Amino acid sequence: MADQNETSALAQSSGTSDKVWFITGASRGFGRVWAEAALNRGDKVAATARTLGSIAGLKEKYGENVLTLEMDVTKPDQVKTAVEQAHSHFGRLDIIANNAGYTLVGTIEESSTEDIRAQYETNVFGAITVIQAVLPLLRKQGYGHILGTSSGVGHVTLPVVGYYCSTKWAFESIHESLALEVKAFGIKVTIIEPGAYATEFGSPLSAKFAAGLDVYADFKKQVFEGMQGMERGDPNATPEAIFKIVDTENPPLRFNLGSHNLAWVRAAYTDRLETWEAWQEVSSSAQGTLK
């Protein structure tokens, strides 16, 4: 008879359900939506959040199919303990949804170095801490799928959230390198890139606002008005797309979530290519030749 790991590996290769998820940032937003959707389809979920009270409802509703864990991604010891508890409890981890994060709202000049460091501690170093904690277990299993929740601003930028954008550019490159490094171990990586959605993201619950400077007041007002006018997607419409990603044998490295990102990113890259090509002669002149 096949052991548990062999059975799960067969399930992975055939794209079937009954998967075990480890989800960070499960208290709200995409983390909460995806956790409940996975549980509703019969999967099992280790749901983590900074406070157990924020995810207590999951335990009450889904019983033994969910394990709720208190975990702050900026605390490596907590992360290691939570990952080990989840793996021990369910016997395996199939999908790691690295979802915890928040945005720092403020211009490049306004934001303090302390706030910038804190943003990176959660959005970048927190994600790395989770990855480094799960990889030994996934390697031993011989399979696993890491989902990293990035953003459309992992390719383009917006004013007033420049530091948040920068964390997503770092997040993208880290996961791209990771995908190359762990492919031989049977581990898959997909970067999920949501557009604008009607989640709590950007609210006081999921954002920190830098102290403002009067010189930027009018500019920021215009930016915020533009953001408020953006069409936002329904987060509850996303789970089926995520399930298609985790159930397929060959998932993409990058996946745009929503209908607006592709046109936005295409325009940005077209502009970059045109600029690089226009300056190619000058660029090539700087190559020189070594004797």
Closest CA to 67 of 41, 38, 89: 89
Tens of pLDDT, residues 111-158:
999 999 999 999 999 999 999 999 999 999 999 999 999 999 999 999
Do 18 and 42 form a contact (C-beta atoms < 8 A)? yes
What are phi and psi for residue 75, nearest 5 degrees?
Answer: -115, 95
What is the domain partition of the chain in residue ranges?
4-282
Beta carbons within 8 Å of 20's beta carbon, 6+ residues apart = 8, 43, 44, 45, 46, 90, 91, 92, 93, 94, 95
* Number of neighbours of residue 143 by Cβ within 10 angstroms: 19
**If pLDDT is split at 50, 70 and 90, which confidence band does 200 have?**
low
pTM of the model: 0.90
Beta carbons within 8 Å of 75's beta carbon, 6+ residues apart = none
Closest CA to 208 of 114, 124, 74: 114
Whole-number Å distance between alpha carbons of 56 and 69: 10
Report which residue type is found at 257.
L
Architecture label for domain 4-282 = 3-Layer(aba) Sandwich (3.40)
Q: At what angle do helices 127-141 and 162-182 cross, to 10 degrees?
A: 20
Whole-number Å distance between alpha carbons of 134 and 204: 30
**If pLDDT is split at 50, 70 and 90, which confidence band does 14 have?**
very low
Tens of pLDDT, residues 49-99:
999 999 999 999 999 999 999 999 999 999 999 999 999 999 999 999 999
Whole-number Å distance between alpha carbons of 45 and 34: 10
Closest CA to 158 of 110, 220, 247, 250: 220
Tens of pLDDT, residues 152-184:
999 999 999 999 999 999 999 999 999 999 999
Helix, strand counts (H, E) of the chain? 11, 9
| Active site positions, annotated | 150, 164, 168
For the chain, what is the largest distance between any 2 Cα atoms, rounded to a whole number of angstroms? 73
Six-digit token string for 176: 């791209």
Tens of pLDDT, residues 24-53:
999 989 999 999 999 999 999 999 999 999
